[in-house]
Structure 1
Amino acid sequence: MSLAKRLTDQGITLPDASAPAANYVPFVQVGNIVYVSGQISRNDDGLITGVLGDDMSIEDGAAAAKTCALQLLAQVKAACGGDMDRLVRVVKLTGFVNSTKDFTDQPKVINGCSDFLVEALGDAGRHARSAVSAVALPMGVAVEIEGIFEVS
């Protein structure tokens, strides 16, 4: 089954790829590898802000991380000229969690992204990963995730 059909069959609609907010590009392709700049937690209502360990639960953080996954895939789709079937696999993610100094469940938060990618893409969604704490993220968002993807 094609990746595009798999996403459609699961009712997954990708957002439009967002434009960069500063002096960088949203992705760079080198050979068959696409490096996607950090995608921040946001949905149709706007930015998802908060601090894990303070005013945000792990579940809310994981939901915010899932929105980053959708943004990452939107950038990959743009890099592939709209053809999601060119995505071979997710290679690596680096997740940043806006959290207090005592919060230690960053991996559980970033699981919101990882679990979604594996569910949506199957084995192509399995990846290496880092999940780290940040004392602050741009615009107060809860999560930012960057990714490396293999494409054909």
Structure 2
Amino acid sequence: MTIDEKLAELGIELPQAAAPVASYQPVVIHGGFAHVSGQLPFVEGDLIKGRLGDDVALEDGAGAARACGLMILAQLKAALGSLDKVERVVKLGAFVNSTADFTDQPKVANGASDLMFEVFGEAGRHSRSAVGVPVLPLGVAVEVDAIVAVKP
């Protein structure tokens, strides 16, 4: 089964890959790895904004992380031509806009991590960082970046 077939089976439609909001490349492929710049949580063209522990619920934060994961997949597909070229998801970095007393960043990051496993199976299991930060670009709730091994 191709990854596109797997996405269809899961009922997942990828968003259009977002253009960079500053001076960087969305994906850089080098040495057999695709380095995906931090992706923001777009849902139906709108950004999920706010702060965990303040005005964004844990479930909504996990949904925002999943939206970031979908954008990672969209960026990879745009850069590689096919998600079938993904050999393995190596690492995700999740940045969670959160208050000083919010400590469930790993649960928020699971939104992106679980998506990678759903789509790629065992090849979607990865290492990860989940970090709380006081602010993110454009006021978003979550930003996620990735390192992905690419098939030769």
TM-score, scaled relative to structure 1: 0.96
Distance (whole Å) between structure 1 residues aligned to residue 125 and residue 84 of structure 2 = 16
Distance (whole Å) between structure 2 residues aligned to residue 35 and residue 85 of structure 1 = 16
Q: Deviations over 1:119-143 (max 9, x none)?
A: 1221111000000001000111000
| Deviates most, 136-145 or 5-14 | 5-14
2:99 corresponds in structure 1 to 100
C-alpha change, 1:102 and 1:72, in structure 2 (3 Å) is same
Instruction: Report how far residue 26 of structure 1 moved.
Output: 0.5
Distance (whole Å) between structure 1 residues aligned to residue 115 and residue 58 of structure 2 = 15
Residue type at the aligned position of 1:41: P
Residue type at the aligned position of 1:83: S
Residue type at the aligned position of 1:73: L
After TM superposition, list the pairs within 5 Å mapping 1:37-52 onto structure 2.
37-52=37-52
Tell me how large the CA RMSD over aligned residues is: 1.0
Q: Deviations over 1:10-33 (max 9, x none)?
A: 121111111101111111000310
Distance (whole Å) between structure 2 residues aligned to residue 71 and residue 84 of structure 1 = 13
Secondary structure of the residue aligned to 1:18 is: coil
After TM superposition, list the pairs within 5 Å mapping 1:23-102 onto structure 2.
23-80=23-80, 82-102=81-101
1:120 corresponds in structure 2 to 119
Moved over 3 A (4+): none
Distance (whole Å) between structure 2 residues aligned to residue 150 and residue 102 of structure 1 = 35
Q: Are positions 1:136 and 2:135 aligned together?
A: yes
Instruction: Report how far residue 45 of structure 1 moved.
Output: 4.6
Distance (whole Å) between structure 2 residues aligned to residue 148 and residue 17 of structure 1 = 17
Unaligned runs of 5+ in 2: none
1:149 corresponds in structure 2 to 148
Q: Deviations over 1:88-109 (max 9, x none)?
A: 1110000000000111100000
Q: Deviations over 1:14-67 (max 9, x none)?
A: 111111011111110003100000001121150100100111111010001000
Q: Percent identity?
A: 54
The number of aligned residues is: 151
Distance (whole Å) between structure 1 residues aligned to residue 2 and residue 120 of structure 2 = 10
